Amino acid sequence: MDIEEIKSKKSIKELIQFSIINIDKSSGPTSFWTSQFVKRSLDLKKTSHLGTLDPQVSGVLPVALNRACRLNEYLMHRNKTYVGIMRLHGKVSLSDLKKEMQNFVGEIIQLPPVRSRVKRAERTRKIETFNILEIKGKDVLFESDVQAGTYIRKLIHDLGEKMGGAHMLELRRTKAGLFDEQDKYYPIVNLYDFKKAIEEYKLGNDEALREILIPGEIISTILPIVQIRKDVVKKALTGSPIFPSFLKNTDEIKKLKENDKICIFCDDKFIGVYNYIGKENLTAKPEFVLN
């Protein structure tokens, strides 16, 4: 599915109704404030951010616009990558530090911080990588790829308990699921440049705003695509389940398992996200239909 081609065929108003903006949040504002700023600037009914960043943490904060908010549950529960600086409280050798950091790679048990908004109960999280990028004195520049919902500040605190103490000085999220600060196709934009794009849009030039809008159809890059026939599109858009007779090609469903999430398309027109049933008389049930 060519997302850029889909984007090129849409008007700016259509894009605004079903897109995501990859905001580069600075240290200071809350994620909620940032999402609301986008909402007010574009005069939208609704926005939502994909994964909260603490006020003092900067970096990738995707903000979904209007109907794209319904995609959150499929997009946000994915790995996040962070780069940060931790300060060691005592003298630790490089070899001991590396060894202790590697002990945290894999599944760990975390107790959310006291000030977190979630229930304070132990939970399992997976640390994919936890690496040193640079060391200067007691300050360690690190990078870590983690399961969604992992508290990096707590990770650093728990690491410090193993070797004389440590705390986090700075933290930046560089990747959140599909969204990356370096991706040329889904560009990150700070609030200053976002505001400038809005100002130009209001003056009749939508080029800068169009550039930063990521079509909601991006969901098709992480969920399997199943095509339906043109003559059943109207039925699908009014909430009908997908029946075997609706399908263009049954080959697309051969590798699917019951309860897999799938994207239904008719050519390059996105219909919605469905739950695959895989029965003889029923292919899938709708979870979100873009009507």
Residue range 203-222: average pLDDT? 95
Residue range 66-86: average pLDDT? 94
Largest CA distance in the chain: 70
Select from 3.30.2350.10, 3.40.190.10, 1.10.1200.10, 3.20.20.70 the CATH code of 3-76+178-218.
3.30.2350.10
Can 80-176 and 223-289 be said to share one CATH topology?
Answer: no
Just give the CATH number of 80-176.
3.30.70.3190
Fold type of domain 223-289: 2.30.130
Low-confidence winner among 103-107, 122-126, 250-254 (lowest mean pLDDT): 250-254
Q: What are phi and psi of 164, to 5 degrees?
A: 90, 10
Indicate whether 113 pLDDT > 90.
no
| Residue 116 confidence (pLDDT) | 64
Residue 117 binned pLDDT confidence (cut-offs 50, 70, 90): low
| Residue 115 confidence (pLDDT) | 66
Could you give the CA distance from residue 32 to residue 215 in angstroms, rounded to a whole number? 22
Active site positions, annotated: 54
Tell me: the pLDDT tens digits for 21-30? 999 999 999 9
Residue range 155-182: average pLDDT? 94
| Residue 10 confidence (pLDDT) | 95
Indicate whether 173 pLDDT > 90.
yes
3-state SS of 159-178 is HHHCCCCEEEEEEEEEEECC
Indicate whether 1 pLDDT > 90.
no
Instruction: Determine contact, residues 285/274, Cβ cutoff 8 Å.
Output: yes
Indicate whether 95 pLDDT > 90.
yes
Sorted by where each begins, the domain ranges of the chain are 3-76+178-218, 80-176, 223-289
Residue range 111-134: average pLDDT? 84
Could you give the CA distance from residue 177 to residue 78 in angstroms, rounded to a whole number? 5
Tokens of 276: 């695959």
Question: If 0-12 CB within 10 Å is exposed, 13-18 middle and 19+ buried, where does residue 275 land?
Answer: middle
| Residue 184 confidence (pLDDT) | 77
For the chain, the average pLDDT equals: 93
**Please, which residues bridge with residue 189 across strands?**
23
| Residue 24 confidence (pLDDT) | 97
Tell me: the pLDDT tens digits for 222-278? 999 999 999 999 999 999 999 999 999 888 898 999 999 999 999 999 999 999 999
| Residue 118 confidence (pLDDT) | 64
How much of the chain, in percent, has pLDDT values that exceed 90? 87
- Calculated CA dihedral for residues 80, 83, 89, 92, nearest 10 degrees: 100
* DSSP-assigned letters across all residues of the chain: --HHHHHHHS-HHHHHHSEEEEEEEPSSS-HHHHHHHHHHHHT-S-EEESS---TT-EEEEEEEEGGGGGGHHHHSSS-EEEEEEEEESS---HHHHHHHHHTTSEEEEE---TT-SS----EEEEEEEEEEEEEETTEEEEEEEE-TT--HHHHHHHHHHTTT-EEEEEEEEEEETTEETT-SSS-EEEHHHHHHHHHHHHTT--HHHHHHEEEGGGGGGTS-EEEB-GGGHHHHHTTPPBPGGGBS-GGGGTT--TT-EEEEEETTEEEEEEEEEEETTEEEEEEEE--
- Report pTM: 0.91
| Residue 114 confidence (pLDDT) | 67
| Residue 251 confidence (pLDDT) | 86
Residue 51 binned pLDDT confidence (cut-offs 50, 70, 90): confident
